[in-house]
């Protein structure tokens, strides 16, 4: 895979010759868009407005040309999992429990637009009649509460793998793939920048579950006794990594910080209300400081190294539009 600062393709987005024998097939924007040309785009403009993230340049063309083919592909994978379940039931020659939900992991940096991607896919996949119930869970709820992060000395490393309750997250994914009728996930508030006590998201009988977060593709860790445990990605049926050049992601982060300074940071209840009165120059300096001390190192050390574990990579250009797609070969 290309480095975070490189393009990973030729100037026109076509695959390089040295990638032809690699594990991915790479399609440029036009080739990928052609895959959805014969399918009607199900989302209305107002639905796109609702799922668009702050600063994301998401329009009807992007949905039609990028996310429609992706939703078709994911739907095909989900249907194939159902067919495999029926074939296994026939092979075992005995009734089996109902098929467990199809689980999609979605990873990428802060400010790269992965939350918007997750929301768009949730809406589009739910329009397909084969799987109308699509749940979306973010891993933010599995962060340790701020008080616990303070106790552990991890507040300055919020978002790093060690700041999450990984056991609880793993139990959640295992319960989903065990076919439990209802599974609960904790809720996170970006306004107060903390887990909300006693507030849960209930996932009940979904056909598909999208799990979105910075570190969802992290490999399993070695235990103190040398054994290797399970990773949540072990239970994914498909995974997506939203990628871009590091310099672009950093710029998007700073731009988003400036927009928040004019919106959410003005709310007295916001954890970041103190940033609301910064001048623009002060806000830019603070955003760059946070990037350099937290988000940039986390991206380089923990998030980018998981990119090669994804089934599919969406590579964005500087304007936030997807430039090309890499799909792992079967």
Binding residues for ATP: 108-115
Supply 31's token pair: 């080739």
159: Cβ contacts below 8 Å, ≥ 6 apart: 110, 143, 214, 294, 295, 298
Instruction: For residue 266, give the H/E element and its range.
Output: none
Supply 7's token pair: 């393009």
Cα 136 to Cα 49, 173, 237, 306, distances in angstroms:
18, 12, 15, 21
Q: Long-range pairs for 250-253 at CB < 8 Å and ≥24 separation?
A: 250/288, 250/291, 250/296, 251/318, 252/55, 252/111, 252/112, 252/113, 252/320, 253/110, 253/111, 253/287, 253/291, 253/295
Annotated binding site: 108-115
Query: Chain centroid to CA 190: how far?
Result: 17
114 φ/ψ sector (left φ>0, alpha ψ -120 to 50, else beta):
alpha
Q: How far apart are CA 23 and CA 25, in angstroms?
A: 7
């Amino acid at each position: 895979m290309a480095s975070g600062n490189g393009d990973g393709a030729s100037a026109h987005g076509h695959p390089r010759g040295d990638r032809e024998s690699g594990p991915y097939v790479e399609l440029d924007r036009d080739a990928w868009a052609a895959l959805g040309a014969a399918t009607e785009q199900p989302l209305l403009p107002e639905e796109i407005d609702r799922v668009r993230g702050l600063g994301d340049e998401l329009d009807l063309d992007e949905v039609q040309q990028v996310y429609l083919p992706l939703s078709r592909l994911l739907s095909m994978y989900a249907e194939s999992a159902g067919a495999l379940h029926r074939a296994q039931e026939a092979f075992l020659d005995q009734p089996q429990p109902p098929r467990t939900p199809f689980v999609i992991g979605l990873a990428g940096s802060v400010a790269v637009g992965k939350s918007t991607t997750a929301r768009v896919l949730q809406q589009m996949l739910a329009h397909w009649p084969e799987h109308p119930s699509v749940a979306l869970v973010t891993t933010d709820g599995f962060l340790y509460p701020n008080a616990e992060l303070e106790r552990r000395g991890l507040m300055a490393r919020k978002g790093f793998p060690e700041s999450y309750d990984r056991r609880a997250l793993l139990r959640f994914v295992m319960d989903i793939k065990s076919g439990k009728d209802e599974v609960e996930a904790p809720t996170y508030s970006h306004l107060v920048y903390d887990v909300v006590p006693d507030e849960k998201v209930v996932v009940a009988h979904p056909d598909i579950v999208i799990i979105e977060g910075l570190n969802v593709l992290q490999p399993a860790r070695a235990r103190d006794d040398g054994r290797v445990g399970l990773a949540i990605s072990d239970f994914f049926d498909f995974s997506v990594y939203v990628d871009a050049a590091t310099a672009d992601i950093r710029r998007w982060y700073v731009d988003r910080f400036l927009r928040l300074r004019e919106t959410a940071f003005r709310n007295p209840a916001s954890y970041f209300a103190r940033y609301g009165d910064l001048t623009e120059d002060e806000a830019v300096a603070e955003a760059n400081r946070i990037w350099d001390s937290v988000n940039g190192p986390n991206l380089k050390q923990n998030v980018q190294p998981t990119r090669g574990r994804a089934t599919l990579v969406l590579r964005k250009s500087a304007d936030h539009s997807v430039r090309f797609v890499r799909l792992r070969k079967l």
